[in-house]
Amino acid sequence: MAEAHPVGFQWVMEAKKRGARIIHVDPRFTRTSALAHQHVPIRVGSDIAFLGGIINHVLQNELDFREYVVNYTNAANIVSDKFEDVDGLDGLFSGFDPETRTYDPTSWQFAQEDQDGELGQAQADDAGDTAEQRDTAAGMQNEAHGMQVGSHPPRDETLQHPMCVFQVLKRHYARYTPEVVEQICGVSQEDFLEVCRAWTENSGRERTTALVYSVGWTQHSVGVQYIRAGAILQLLLGNMGRPGGGIMALRGHASIQGSTDIPTLFNLLPGYLPMPNAASHQTLSDWIDGVRNPGSKGFWANAGAYGINLLKAYWGDAATAENDYCFDYLPKITGDHGTYRTVLDMIDGKVQGYFLVGQNPAVGSAHGRAQRLGMANLDWLVVRDLFEIESATFWKDSPEVQTGEIVPEECRTEVFLFPAASHVEKEGTFTQTQRMLQWREKAVEPPGDARSELWFFYHLGRMMRESLAGSSDERDRPLLDLAWDYPLHGEAASSGWGEPSAEAVLKEINGYEVATGRLLSGFGEMKDDGSTLGGCWIYSGVYADGVNQAARRKSRHEQSEVAPEWGWAWPMNRRLLYNRASADPQGRPWSERKAYVWWDEDAQEWTGHDVPDFEKKKPPSYRAPEGSDGVAAIEGIDPFIMQGDGKGALYAPQGLIDGPMPTHYEPVESPFRNLLHGQQGNPTRKEYRRSDNPLNPDPREPGAAEVFPFVFTTSRLTEHHTAGAMSRYVEHLAELQPEMFVEVSPALAAERGLEHMGWCHVITARSAVEGKVLVTERLRPLRVEGRTVHQVWMPYHWGQGGLVSGDSTNDLFGISLDPNVLIQESKVGTCDVRPGRRPTGPALREYVEGYARRAGVLDHEEGPVVTASADAQQRSAAAQDGADQHSPQQREDQ
């Protein structure tokens, strides 16, 4: 955190001054470790084993916050007795289909006590085609949707029922003992128990613990399950929805939170509405029902209003009830359109044009060679950036030009480079990890031809509309019918080339009454009859009372600790989500020290330091009447109001492609066999097996360990920003870390003959990159499964451009993805390290291919993904058949 988020780290230092104990778990000793009380080195890619060990420690020693767990989580829910866990199935859950490598989650569901179909409907919806869900990263929608389970699953609040979630969880993690953690993670039992002790002692009524991670944590083939493991632990210890608790995702750039809220993702629309699917969302009501999921509790029941307001914001007067508010104009997805799929499609000649806006995939994305070869096979490429980055110059100076794979004279891609305004040269908002929007003013005019994104896209749209004006072609209607009128300002406004008003855009996002223009005070005012419009329901309220709430800058000294008048947080300026959980089931603070939001008996309403994340007048004693759903089904003790059952999910029967509970799988490339199961890696991961994407071999292949014996990982340096476009081109930053380097331990240096400050190169089946050797004790060999493993670390900031240049570390990675959200595994791989510089020119390819050949992966002959025993595969599939037979209800409802 000190490395990549030094400004945020000031608050950790502040907490440390006040007595907080800081623990840093990281493969290497970083600037964060330097300031932490304890550094725990861990083998890259073994985090679920580590967190699973802590979960086991909590459950075996009954250290969970029991009253919280019983009331606020799904610990008491009874799971279907058709469910079979990984221990009996060699690392698979029940319901696995080896053909598609996906699960049918029917057997994972909660048991049914009602036969009225309410639960069955909700559950069956998600028991659909998980192969399709994987392609469309459908799991992403659960980021804000929560699980769409039925409202009233059977419960055993004594937590004794053998199939209640608590017992299922306890059995699942029973194997994650301190000994096993030591074996898998290379973490000493002493260090491990110290972490357990600190975490549990600082959780409960009086204290809370925060789990903070940076997004490299997600970049694994089991990335989503990493976060799930953290969530389970925080729920067991009562650290969610309470001050000082939570899970903080430190984003990699300004407003990455904003870019999922108002997304730049292929499968989401603003406010986490799913992008309609051509197969399943033929009509507006199909789409809305797909979101609101009748039978579930919670606020998604109002999805119709949110969706229709978005359509009205897009198409204005053209969107009417008669034409389904132009629902047909929305593009529909048909499968995997993720960034890596698109890059491979570029190589295959299926993509003509591409926009890169503030992104430098030639350096920043996994498998740099594939990225560059893809971009070299387009008709046109638009690059908007501050400098002429590698993604704009790949055709003339990339490593592939040296190897002869790209010939500048023959490269067909026409590159259009547009200079972009930086964040101080344009107005707008940033949304940070706390979901807080902060308005920023334009400080200076952008230089030369540099312009904001808003300017670029507004005028691009305007010109396209002008060029199509008068067209009678039906396919041009979505563009021509767009509500595309924003006031312009600035010097060029009179000529029609002015800067669109970002405040006008924010007002549209907030939403207003169509007839009067009155700005909405929140999403509660959104109507599903076309009388209001709003571009992003969760942002509604940012312009409440006609005031730009995001621009508020009241000093923290003039307001409460929660600082509600600094900026504006969605939803409805709540600073802490699910904060109903900060009070006990009766609505009283868990402790004076941790009082945050509570039920005021006299006023008969929720009150406190923050905006209660609960219906203000719904008392803790409220119990839902039989048959209710939606908001009415949320009971007075259901803090997690966006979940289908209002409870925090220790066990996730739906929404995850790869299983209801995190289980340890080895990274796709690992020198170790999975100690726990025959199933080596995530069986459902997304893979693109093709000759230009070779993966290093499975450790059980003969010779694999000799060819690629070491583990490598990458991260950032404080001095640079990601792919370097904002630092390598800037004198005062570039000089701080002027060269690409490779960190190795003294022991590895001795083993491989590497000299401090000499050259070395790192090799995988994809490429070889070189750098200076930095020998440091900040990297330590670990003992894993009885043998020593060396970990190598590299920063990934360099490319051929800029004031300082060097090889790009991301060239080393192949493409394999998490099945839930299609994020790439780009924080762990296997490699070899050799002294001296790498070969250049065509010899580089021969050198790398020599490695691939020796490893047996040259012609994509990597071992199978599914390595669980054949018997286990059969039994997993059979368990599913049993589940189908025993619950015909679900199929009928579908």
Q: What track of x and - describes contact with other proteins for positions 517 through 556 (by CB under 8 A)?
A: ----------------------------------------
Strand partners, 553: 566
442 lines the binding site for other proteins (CB under 8 A): no
Residue with tokens 């430098």: 360
756 lines the binding site for other proteins (CB under 8 A): yes
Q: Are 109 and 653 within 8 A, CB to CB? A: yes
Q: How far is the CB of 780 from other proteins (least distance, A)?
A: 9
* Residue with Cβ nearer other proteins (329 or 710): 710
* Residue with Cβ nearer other proteins (113 or 755): 755
d(CA 293, CA 634): 15
* Residue with Cβ nearer other proteins (349 or 753): 753
**Interface residue with other proteins, options 475, 557, 623, 732 (CB under 8 A):** 732
> Which range in 300-308, 521-529, 733-741, 877-885 contacts other proteins by CB under 8 A?
733-741
**Interface residue with other proteins, options 757, 843, 870, 878 (CB under 8 A):** 757
Q: Are 778 and 34 within 8 A, CB to CB? A: no
* Residue with Cβ nearer other proteins (677 or 720): 720
d(CA 171, CA 159): 13
> What type of residue is 403?
T
State the Rg of the chain over Cα: 27
* Residue with Cβ nearer other proteins (83 or 192): 192
804 lines the binding site for other proteins (CB under 8 A): yes
Q: Evaluate the CA torsion angle 298, 304, 307, 313 in order and state its sign.
A: negative
* Residue with Cβ nearer other proteins (263 or 771): 771
* Residue with Cβ nearer other proteins (253 or 772): 772
* Residue with Cβ nearer other proteins (34 or 321): 34
CA 812 to chain centroid, in Å, comes to: 22
Q: Segment 18-37, which members bind other proteins (CB under 8 A)?
A: 29, 31-35
Residue 316: is it exposed, middle or buried by C-beta count within 10 angstroms (0-12/13-18/19+)? middle
Q: How far is the CB of 593 from other proteins (least distance, A)?
A: 22
443 lines the binding site for other proteins (CB under 8 A): no
d(CA 554, CA 538): 23
**Interface residue with other proteins, options 163, 493, 595, 747 (CB under 8 A):** 747
Residue with tokens 């990597």: 862
Q: Are 374 and 339 within 8 A, CB to CB? A: no
Q: Segment 35-74, which members bind other proteins (CB under 8 A)?
A: 35, 39
* Residue with Cβ nearer other proteins (485 or 735): 735
Reply yes or no: is the peptide bond before residue 571 cis, omega within 30 of 0.
yes
Q: How far is the CB of 19 from other proteins (least distance, A)?
A: 9
Q: How far is the CB of 539 from other proteins (least distance, A)?
A: 29
Q: Which residues fall within 8 angstroms of residue 475, CB to CB, at 6 or more apart?
A: none
447 lines the binding site for other proteins (CB under 8 A): no
Q: Which residues fall within 8 angstroms of residue 218, CB to CB, at 6 or more apart?
A: 224, 226, 227, 249, 818, 821, 823
Q: How far is the CB of 731 from other proteins (least distance, A)?
A: 5
Q: How far is the CB of 697 from other proteins (least distance, A)?
A: 30
> Which range in 402-410, 738-746, 832-840, 863-871 contacts other proteins by CB under 8 A?
738-746
> What type of residue is 834?
R
Q: What angle do CA 389, 390, 396 make, to 5 degrees?
A: 120
Closest by Cα among 405, 398, 452 to 429: 452
Residue 79 backbone zone (phi > 0: left; psi -120 to 50: alpha; other: beta): beta
Q: How far is the CB of 421 from other proteins (least distance, A)?
A: 19
Q: How far is the CB of 39 from other proteins (least distance, A)?
A: 8
* Residue with Cβ nearer other proteins (734 or 844): 734
Q: What track of x and - describes contact with other proteins for positions 766 through 785 (by CB under 8 A)?
A: ------x-xxxxx-------
Q: What angle do CA 239, 605, 571 make, to 5 degrees?
A: 55
Q: Backbone phi, then psi, for 23, in 5-degree steps?
A: -115, 135
809 lines the binding site for other proteins (CB under 8 A): no
Q: Which two tokens stand for residue 433?
A: 């990890």
287 lines the binding site for other proteins (CB under 8 A): no
729 lines the binding site for other proteins (CB under 8 A): no
750 lines the binding site for other proteins (CB under 8 A): yes
Q: Which residues fall within 8 angstroms of residue 488, CB to CB, at 6 or more apart?
A: 496, 497, 498, 499, 500, 501
Strand (E) or helix (H) holding 71 = helix 66-72
760 lines the binding site for other proteins (CB under 8 A): no
Q: Which two tokens stand for residue 286?
A: 């199909």
Residue 229: is it exposed, middle or buried by C-beta count within 10 angstroms (0-12/13-18/19+)? buried
81 lines the binding site for other proteins (CB under 8 A): no
* Residue with Cβ nearer other proteins (87 or 719): 719
Q: What angle do CA 797, 802, 803 make, to 5 degrees?
A: 105
* Residue with Cβ nearer other proteins (701 or 719): 719
In three-state form (DSSP H/G/I as H, E/B as E, the rest C), the secondary structure along 328-374 is HHCCCECCCCCHHHHHHHHHCCCCCEEEEECCCHHHHCCCHHHHHHH
Q: How many helices and strands in the chain, by DSSP H and E?
A: 28, 30
> Which range in 484-492, 503-511, 532-540, 740-748 contacts other proteins by CB under 8 A?
740-748
d(CA 407, CA 331): 36
Give the SS3 label for residue 484.
coil
**Interface residue with other proteins, options 738, 839, 863, 882 (CB under 8 A):** 738
Give the SS3 label for residue 147.
coil
808 lines the binding site for other proteins (CB under 8 A): no
Q: Evaluate the CA torsion angle 865, 868, 870, 874 in order and state its sign.
A: negative
* Residue with Cβ nearer other proteins (581 or 779): 779
837 lines the binding site for other proteins (CB under 8 A): no
> Which range in 174-182, 408-416, 638-646, 715-723 contacts other proteins by CB under 8 A?
715-723
Q: How far is the CB of 54 from other proteins (least distance, A)?
A: 22
Residue 493: is it exposed, middle or buried by C-beta count within 10 angstroms (0-12/13-18/19+)? middle
d(CA 532, CA 269): 18
13 lines the binding site for other proteins (CB under 8 A): yes
Q: How far is the CB of 556 from other proteins (least distance, A)?
A: 15
Task: Fill in the DSSP letter of residue 792.
Answer: E
Q: What angle do CA 822, 571, 637 make, to 5 degrees?
A: 95
737 lines the binding site for other proteins (CB under 8 A): yes
**Interface residue with other proteins, options 117, 478, 746, 882 (CB under 8 A):** 746
State the number of binding residues for other proteins (CB under 8 A).
42
> Which range in 130-138, 259-267, 561-569, 745-753 contacts other proteins by CB under 8 A?
745-753
725 lines the binding site for other proteins (CB under 8 A): no
d(CA 20, CA 12): 8
> Which range in 165-173, 576-584, 649-657, 755-763 contacts other proteins by CB under 8 A?
755-763
Q: How far is the CB of 6 from other proteins (least distance, A)?
A: 4
**Interface residue with other proteins, options 317, 735, 849, 861 (CB under 8 A):** 735
Q: How far is the CB of 41 from other proteins (least distance, A)?
A: 10
Q: Which residues bind other proteins (CB under 8 A)?
A: 2, 6-7, 9-10, 13, 17, 29, 31-35, 39, 717-719, 731-739, 741, 746-747, 749-750, 755-757, 772, 774-778, 803-804
